[in-house]
Each structure stands twice: as C-alpha cells, then as structure tokens.
Structure 1
C-alpha cells in the first residue's frame, strides 16, 4: 500500500481550510494521526496544525512583488515554481512514515460568473484549465501515493438551478482534467437550508431544471416558443421575438418560472434579463441529462457540526485511497509501558 493523501481543492471561499481543520480534529479524537500540508502560497493564517508550508519555498506576495504579477498570474507562477522544485516537496514528505495520512490544503482562485441576481465566485483554473496541478499530482502518484481529489463547493451558492448546474460542470471539468478518484463535497450545509440542499441532491438534474421552464400547454392557451425564438399563441400565430417587440405581459409569460436564466443568443446580461431562448433551455436540459444518465457528478453534504457527516466523508475518502488495508496492528501504548 502506498502513502495515502487527500488533495482538498475547489473555488476560493468554499471552506478548504475549515475542511482540513475538522478532519484533523476528527482524526485526533479517533486516535489517528493526520498531517495537513499547506500548498496555498497566498495563505495567511491557519486554524489547523501545519506539517509544512509551501510559503517556506515561495509565497504569492514575493512572486507578485518581484515579478510584477497580478494575483492570478502570481498564483500560477508559484505552483509552477513548486513543480520545478519537487525535490523540496519530496524531502518534506519523506519525513513521514508510510502509514501516515496526509491532507493537502490546495489554493483556490477566483473567477466571477455574473448572474442576474448577483455575482457567483467560481474559479479553478489550476484544476480545470492549466496543467500545473495535474503535473504535481502525477509526481505524487509516481512516488507511490494513493491520491484522492476532494472537490469542495459551497452549498449556500447552489440552491438555485443555474448555479447548481454551474457547480456540477465545474466539478466535472476538474475530474476530466485531473483524472483522479474524485469526491465532491457540499460544504457549509450548516449555513444553508438542509431540506433545500437535499432536494437538489435527490432530484435528477434534468427534472429539476425542467421545473423552472414554462410548460407547453396549447389547450390552456399558454404562449410557447418555437425553435426560432418566436412566441406562438393557442392558435399557432407568431408573435414578436421576446425582448424585442413583445409586450411586458408576453415577456413575463415567457420568462422561466424560477431564477434559472442563461446568458445567450439574446446578448449578454440584457439577454439574460429577457430569459433564455428555448434552444438554450433544451441545451441546459441535455447537459443535465448527461450528468444524470452517466452518474458523473454526485455530492456528499457536509455540516461541520454533524459528526456523522464528517465521518461519512472521511470514510469515502479512506475507501478511495484504500487506507488501512495493509496496516499492521499496533500494540497500545499502555501495554507497552506495562511490558517495560
């Protein structure tokens, strides 16, 4: 059995450091040793006990100051610098025994996707676009590490169909890029409505999305939209394209029933205010159908106040990395003292 480790990753602000803290405390209470390693060069303070810190090698502040880079470019440079100095990482990891468990606190990076009701921070270029993290993970695997990717998403941001789909696709992008056993976790469930979170986890994505679009019911005279984006009444007559010549009442009739809105062919935020064209709605449903049909993305809820949630997430991670399968039983310390 190789050494076991978790790579805790995800967008900024999703609770990666908090996750590392509660996992370390949970394992300490279970008389189990877990080392937490900081790989975030922008970190400033820690609530957990740090085994070693990437800032001893390079920090984001130094990279930005010396190379005149912005935060995003500086972060990518720091991770590439780590990749060029993997001997430093190997020397630090070699200080641990083979049966010890390691959790890596990875960096987050912020992009902003704009929604009509506000900004939603999402950013994981390090995990879904640039290959630097993939190369670091490949090095760990070559050193005989069993690696599990723990991808965190904020539950308070996904209790809306559009944001839920964005989160699922974001996680899927990281899964495709990293090619690792993947565990998706919804954090901050203690701050969200748990019943609402469970609804999103239990309902199929396609069915959930479809509930937020108008139903086509010609018998009741409801307006629907054809493939060209033209409204048709009960008699089949064409009306003006929504958002151009349509009346306010027509626009409201053709709006999604929920807050799910797609930036699309109508153009930017203004197009989003008018609501999605039906072909974009069908595209959304098709994407969610793929996620459902192939069970590509599943989430585990995590409430840091609930020991059962913490234990369940840890159990899944342990199962993925096969932790404990080849461990030799150890004699309790009390027995050792009595023998002496």
Structure 2
C-alpha cells in the first residue's frame, strides 16, 4: 500500500517550507519521497516537484479567461482537478507501490472545512490504495492571542471531521516564539489555554470559552512543534 501526507492549513502557515523540510528529512533517513504541488496559485518551489497541478490548470489562466477573482478561481481549479482525476491517477501509476508522496495543498481554508473538493480527492486516493495522513499546520505566532489560537484549532478540527483521516496538528514557525510559552500550548489537556482565554474574555463569554476548551481538549490531537532548519 502506498502512503502519503495531505499537507493543509491557511495561507502563510509554511506548508511549502514543511514539505521541503520533510522531503529533506526523509532523504537523509534513506526514504525516497515525492512532493506533489496541488496549489494552482503557486509560483516557485524550494523542493523538487514530482508533478504540478499547474500542468493541468493554473489560477492565472482561470482568472484571465473566466474573469474570476483569486478565491473563486482557486476553487474552480480544484473542482476541475476533481473532474479530471484520471490525470492525477495516470501520473501516480508511474511510481511504485513503495513510494511515499507529500501533497502540498492550497491555503484556502474552505477547501478543507466544508467544500467537498478535498474530501473527493482523499476518497479517490484511498480507492487507489493510498494510506493517508492529514497534516494540518497552525501558525505558532497565534499563541500570542488565545482567541486566534482557538480559531486555528477549530479550523483544524473542522478539517479533521470533514476529511475523516488520521490527523496530525503541527505548529509552525516555532523558532519565532518563546519556547516556554510554546510548551504551554503543546498540551491541550492542560488548563493553561482555558485560564488564558478566560482572562482575555468578559464574564458573559466565559461559559462559551470553557465549552470550546473542552471540545479542544477532548477532540483535538496534541500539536507537534515544527522548527524550520536551513541545514
């Protein structure tokens, strides 16, 4: 059975950087991996691209020919991919059953939270005998604002429920935040998140804060810290 990671998360969280570092880590460990670009708006890469959705359709062409904006154009591109999954399947068939793939996905959050596009893609990969892990990236700079961190975690939970995959949360840009502060957020079961969120809200919203923190504590996997290295 072939294996892959579906790398998700909002724009700017460092998905391509994660893919680059994961590719280099696997190479150093003797594990050959192939990174697939599924972002039709991508412009350049720091990793070798096995194949690229822009060879099928690009956001620039859609915006120019159909007059769509960036968001609508990106959704159109991903829907076009789903309508032409034979293109992706034919490319994947050129690789062996032991090969490992990393799919670098777009940063439009609705693709994971409620639109059916990524669900259809994951279902197709499973039908093609892929074992899939969802990797959801969250910007660790959010820990400076408890409300932003909760928002990021809930978006991750939405993707986990929508896609129904084994799921890992990864905090990125950890080298830019205080290590001791970061450690407090790496364990959702601790009371630190609730305490911090409660202190930042009025009495009116504290019951909601407790309820949300309970959902996070019981439903969301422990986030893992990812530190980007250049070497």
TM over 0.5: yes
Structure with the higher fraction of residues in helix conformation: 2
TM range (shorter): over 0.9
2:178 to 193, 216, 223: 193
Residue aligning to 1:283: 208
Whether the aligned pair in 1 keeps the contact of 2:139 and 2:171 (CA below 8 Å) is yes
Seen in structure 2, the aligned counterparts of structure 1 residues 199 and 135 have a Cα distance that, compared at 3 Å, is: same
Choose between structure 1 and 2 for higher RCO, CA contacts under 8 A separated by at least 6 residues.
2
**Equivalent-residue separation in structure 2 for 1:195 and 1:28 (angstroms):** 31
Cα deviation, residue 168, structure 1:
1.2
Whether the aligned pair in 2 keeps the contact of 1:8 and 1:105 (CA below 8 Å) is yes
Gaps of 5+ in 1: 110-123, 214-255, 262-275, 308-340
Whether the aligned pair in 2 keeps the contact of 1:8 and 1:150 (CA below 8 Å) is yes
How many residues were matched structurally?
231
Whether the aligned pair in 1 keeps the contact of 2:147 and 2:197 (CA below 8 Å) is no
Whether the aligned pair in 2 keeps the contact of 1:5 and 1:145 (CA below 8 Å) is yes
Seen in structure 2, the aligned counterparts of structure 1 residues 205 and 77 have a Cα distance that, compared at 3 Å, is: farther
Cα deviation, residue 29, structure 1:
1.5
Seen in structure 2, the aligned counterparts of structure 1 residues 212 and 45 have a Cα distance that, compared at 3 Å, is: closer
Q: TM-score, normalised by structure 2?
A: 0.94
Residue aligning to 1:20: 19
Whether the aligned pair in 2 keeps the contact of 1:159 and 1:200 (CA below 8 Å) is no
The answer to whether structure 1 residue 38 and structure 2 residue 37 are counterparts is yes
Asked which structure has the greater CA Rg, the reply is 1
Cα deviation, residue 131, structure 1:
0.8
1:170 to 144, 155, 158: 155
Secondary structure class of the residue paired with 1:150: strand
**Equivalent-residue separation in structure 2 for 1:179 and 1:84 (angstroms):** 21
**Equivalent-residue separation in structure 2 for 1:83 and 1:92 (angstroms):** 15
Whether the aligned pair in 1 keeps the contact of 2:4 and 2:132 (CA below 8 Å) is yes
Residue aligning to 2:81: 82
Residue aligning to 2:119: 134
Cα deviation, residue 208, structure 1:
2.7
Seen in structure 2, the aligned counterparts of structure 1 residues 51 and 134 have a Cα distance that, compared at 3 Å, is: same
Whether the aligned pair in 1 keeps the contact of 2:8 and 2:105 (CA below 8 Å) is yes
Gaps of 5+ in 2: none
Secondary structure class of the residue paired with 1:21: helix
Residue aligning to 2:132: 147
| 1:269-294: CA deviation from partner (whole Å, max 9, x where unpaired) | xxxxxxx4x232211111102222x2
Cα deviation, residue 209, structure 1:
2.5
